[in-house]
Structure 1
Amino acid sequence: MTQCPDPTHGTDPLPDDFRAAMRLLAATVTIITAGEGPARRGLTATAVCSMSVTPPSMLVCVNRSGAAHRAISDAGSFCVNILADDQREVAQRFAGQTGDQGEDRFAPHGWTHLATGAPALDGALVNLDCQIAGATETGSHSIFIGEVRAIRFGAAPSPLLHFNRSFFTLAHTTAL
C-alpha cells in the first residue's frame, strides 16, 4: 500500500501507483469526437459514464492540453462512440498509437452527423450525440456533462474493452 509522500524525501510514488491502479480498472473503450471539417478532433477514452436518465446525460473527462478539448469546447457538443469488439484499430488510431494526427485520424473510417453535428463513427456499438450542459475543471482535465440529443445503435454484438494496457472482447456466454 502506498502512503502519502514523506516531505523529507523527494519522490512521490502516488502518481505512478495511481496510473498502475487505473490500468486495472477494466472499461469499455470509447472515441470522443467533436467539431466539423478540418476542425474535427477525437480521442480514445475510458473516463466516460452515464450520468442520469432524466434528462439522458453523459459525463466525459478530457485532458485540457489536448486538441480534442478545444474542439469540444468550441463546438459545444461531442459524440461518445462506444466501440464494437472489432474496432481495436480505431481505438489505437485515436489514442495516437498509429502516428496519425488531427483530421487524419478520421480518414479511413465512415462518419455520420447526428443531431449536434459531432462526428458519429459508423459501425460503432452505440453513438451518443451530446450537447454540452455543463463543464468543470479539476486537475489536468475538464469534466464535460453532455445532454444526449440522439442515439444510434450499431449491429455489433459486443463492446471493445481495455484492461491493463490490452484490448479484450466479451466471450459470448449465457447470462445468469
Structure 2
Amino acid sequence: MTMPMLFPRSDAAEGLKTAMRHYASGVTVITAGRGTARRGITATAFTSVTMEPPTVLACINRHGQTHEAIAEAGHFCVNILCEAATDLAASFAGMTGKAGAAQFDGFEWIETRTGAPAYADAQASIACTLVQTTGIGSHSIFIGRVEEISVNPDRAPLLHFNRGFHHLGARQ
C-alpha cells in the first residue's frame, strides 16, 4: 500500500493543488460578452447554490479576461461539456494557442436571453444574470440568477481528473 503524501501548513497551497487534481469533476466553459468582446474559460469551479431562487456560482481568476467580461457584461453562461467537447475544453483552457474571441471560432454558439454565448452542443447550458460578486484571494465568486437553461440529456459528460480530460465510460 502506498503511503499518503503529507503537506504541512507551510506547503498547503501545493497540497491543495495536488488534492484537487485527484478530485474528478465535470468540465464547464464559462462564457460572457458579445461579439468581439466574448470571452470564456474552461473551469471546474462551478456549483448550484440554491433552487429557490435558482442560483449558481462560478469561481474565476481576477487576472483573466473572462473575469473582466463577466463583470462588464453582467451575465455569464455555464456550459457543461459532453465527452465530444474535448477540443472546446482545450481551446478555452489555453491549450490551442487561441485567445480571446478567437477561442469561439470553429464551434457553434447560441446567444442566450441574457446575451451570454451558449455552446450549441453542450450537455447543458445555464445562462445567468450576475447578482453578486465576492472576492477572495486571486479569484472572484460570481453568483448568478438562472435565467435560461438548455439540456441535452442524451450526452455523456466530459470529466476532469489529474490534469486531463476523461470520458465516463459505458452508460446504462
CA contact (8 A) 1:123 1:156 kept: no
| Aligned match of 1:121 | 119
CA contact (8 A) 1:124 1:156 kept: no
Q: Give per-residue Cα distances to partners, 1:63-109, cap 9 Å, x unaligned.
A: 00000000000000000000011100100000000000001000110
- Pairs aligned (count): 167
Deviation, 1:34, is 0.1
| 1:60 alignment partner AA | A
| Aligned match of 1:34 | 32
TM-score in terms of structure 1 length: 0.92
Counterpart check, 1:140 vs 2:138: yes
Gaps of 5+ in 1: 6-12
Output the CA distance in 2 between the equivalents of 1:63 and 1:156: 32
Counterpart check, 1:3 vs 2:8: yes
Output the CA distance in 1 between the equivalents of 2:13 and 2:91: 26
Deviation, 1:118, is 0.1
CA contact (8 A) 1:85 1:156 kept: no
Of 96, 100, 103, the residue aligned with 2:98 is 100
Moved more, 27-36 or 16-25: 16-25
| Aligned match of 2:3 | none
CA root-mean-square deviation = 1.1
Question: Which structure has the greater CA radius of gyration?
Answer: 1
Q: Give per-residue Cα distances to partners, 1:116-171, cap 9 Å, x unaligned.
A: 00000010000100001111000000000001000011254211000001111222
Q: Give per-residue Cα distances to partners, 1:3-58, cap 9 Å, x unaligned.
A: 222xxxxxxx2222211111011110000000001100000000000111011111
Gaps of 5+ in 2: 1-5
Output the CA distance in 1 between the equivalents of 2:45 and 2:83: 18
| Aligned match of 1:84 | 82
SS at match of 1:103: helix
| Aligned match of 2:128 | 130
* Matched ranges for 1:141-156 at <5 A: 141-154=139-152, 156=154
| Aligned match of 1:168 | 166
SS at match of 2:20: helix
